Structure 1
Amino acid sequence: MAKPVVLVTGANTGIGFEAVKAFAASPNPYHIIVGSRSVEKGEAAIQQIKAEYPDSSTTLELVQVDVTSDDSINAAFEAVSSKHEYIDALVNNAGAVFDHWLGNNAGSVRDTFNKAWDVNVAGTHVMTYVFAPLLIKSPNTPRLVFITSGLSTLQGAAENLVPPAHQRTITPGWPKEGGILPMGYRSSKAGMNMMMLGWHHMLAVDGVKTLCLSPGFLATGLGGDQKRLEKMGAGPASLGGTFIKDVVDGQRDADVGKVIRRDGVQPW
């Protein structure tokens, strides 16, 4: 049988990188398309994985893609479709947080908010829209995975259930000591959850298994100082990578159309 073809965006770092490692470590063979905004960083990531798993039956292919650029996404589609008639899974992992820009005077209130939505929602939506034709051509069970966040749950936010790294005492007055909450990031991930539902309903007739994956409180560069996060109880990023591989393998197909955690389903 042909190797499952899996495209992972943002695969040169964080849990995207860990997901590629998990595929490479598996006894089952895959063909992983490593999506990276930077060609140099993507190539370095591939070389590192090949060095770590020299006997892996999984093959790796680089594609340059910046999800904030329609031209880049379209070029990535042309590159992939010129080599592959279909893909079996699209893992929309590329994401970013910009709320810290305010504290560093690196961007305006509008910039920090809009940038999060551009990367995490609009960019992911365009990526899915462009690659959907290849996904639904899969002769196997195609899977569409969106990487969301534990901060995206509306119920959790209403009950103020947040990881330790995001807990803070809010003081009266203005400006707020310690800055404002990460509203751009967490609201964009909540928006992603709604977008996933739209894709779930639209592609179910094509046999596509669609869901959001919430990796949990992990020590990644996205969350800030990794050593500090580890001291606060964050798990290793590799847990997220293995989780992604398991979902692509179909282990959570019973939970399509939902936001899933490793230990169950995340409340909306």
Structure 2
Amino acid sequence: MTSSIDRVGARERRTVLITGASRGLGRELAALYAGDGWRVIACVRGQASFDGNIETQSLDVSDSASITALGRGLEGIAIDVLINNAGIRGDTGGLATLDDEDFVEVMRINALAPLLLARALQANLVAGEKRIIANISSRAGSLAEGTLDDDDGDYAYRCSKAALNMATVKLAQDLRKDGITVLSLHPGWVKTDMGGDEAQVPVATSAAGLKARIDGAGMADSGSFRGYDGRRISW
């Protein structure tokens, strides 16, 4: 593990930056990309150790100053793929337990932070070859499908992912001139700390599917919403 950012030979291989990489889906994605020969910049809050040649950067996505500092620290580094994976669920008790501070915090981390990261790293992405922003969203944020088989009372999480989906569409429009592809991706109900014991999709399966969607994406896919298995999800 290393926390330094080496600018020498930076374009010898493609580079991916992953937020929320200390555990769960983010950690699995970091391992997959590193195993595939990519340069991996794993953004974590606090301390984290990784096997293999994975670089770490300190990042608190709830703090706009931390995001700005990350962008400054990575100035001049070409980034091929930005994966906005960091997220929290918040309260799940429904309307009766809805808390304003909890709601705002979930929105800040799940919906606002990806926009701030896209802005902070826009020049890095333009300098890259792949030029992809992958927002890890959720079917729970789909107005058409989000409550078809799920009646959990997680108002903040659902609203934040719906907002993130709109952010994907807007970014896809605004960044098309720069040749940047922007995706919303549903990872499935993944067996992680957030997903819980009843989750159905192994983290390795979800991460492999997401990587396949990201690696195969082009401008024709920009502004789309798909599952880890490739299925198109309704907005």
> Where on the TM-score scale, by shorter chain, does this alignment land: which range?
0.7 to 0.9
The offset of 1:188, in angstroms, is 0.6
Residue in structure 2 matched with residue 76 of structure 1 by the alignment: 70
1:140-179 to 2 correspondences below 5 Å:
140-157=129-146, 160-162=147-149, 166-167=150-151
The offset of 1:127, in angstroms, is 1.4
The answer to whether structure 1 residue 184 and structure 2 residue 178 are counterparts is: no
Residue in structure 2 matched with residue 55 of structure 1 by the alignment: none
Distance 1:77 1:205 in 2: 21
| Cα deviation digits, residues 197-247 of structure 1 (max 9, x gap) | 1110011111111111111111111123xxx214xxx11011222123223
Q: Which of the two has greater helix per residue?
A: 1
Is the CA contact (8 Å cut-off) linking 1:218 and 1:237 kept in structure 2?
yes
**Root mean square deviation of aligned Cα:** 2.1
SS at match of 1:141: coil
Using a 3 Å threshold, how does the CA distance of structure 1 residues 201 and 187 change in structure 2: closer, same or farther?
A: same
The answer to whether structure 1 residue 97 and structure 2 residue 89 are counterparts is: yes
The answer to whether structure 1 residue 123 and structure 2 residue 95 are counterparts is: no
Taking structure 2 as the reference length, the TM-score comes to: 0.87
Q: Which runs of 5+ in 1 are unaligned?
A: 51-58, 169-180
Structure 1 counterpart of 2:216, from 246, 250, 261 = 250
Q: Which runs of 5+ in 2 are unaligned?
A: 1-10
Residue in structure 2 matched with residue 178 of structure 1 by the alignment: none
| Cα deviation digits, residues 95-153 of structure 1 (max 9, x gap) | 111114x69x9x86112211110110112211111111211122x13111100001011
The answer to whether structure 1 residue 62 and structure 2 residue 49 are counterparts is: no
The answer to whether structure 1 residue 205 and structure 2 residue 215 are counterparts is: no
Higher Rg: 1
Distance 1:141 1:23 in 2: 14
Structure 1 counterpart of 2:80, from 82, 88, 91 = 88
1:7-86 to 2 correspondences below 5 Å:
7-26=17-36, 29-38=37-46, 40-41=47-48, 44=49, 46=50, 49-50=51-52, 59-81=53-75, 84-86=76-78
| Cα deviation digits, residues 166-223 of structure 1 (max 9, x gap) | 446xxxxxxxxxxxx1111011100000001111001111111111111111111112
Aligned residue pairs total 223
Distance 1:263 1:195 in 2: 20
Distance 1:142 1:247 in 2: 14
Distance 2:211 2:71 in 1: 22
Residue in structure 1 matched with residue 6 of structure 2 by the alignment: none
Where does structure 1 differ by over 3 angstroms across 4 or more consecutive aligned residues? 251-254
Is the CA contact (8 Å cut-off) linking 1:63 and 1:80 kept in structure 2?
no
Is the CA contact (8 Å cut-off) linking 1:19 and 1:245 kept in structure 2?
yes
Distance 1:222 1:253 in 2: 31
SS at match of 1:213: strand
Residue in structure 2 matched with residue 109 of structure 1 by the alignment: 99
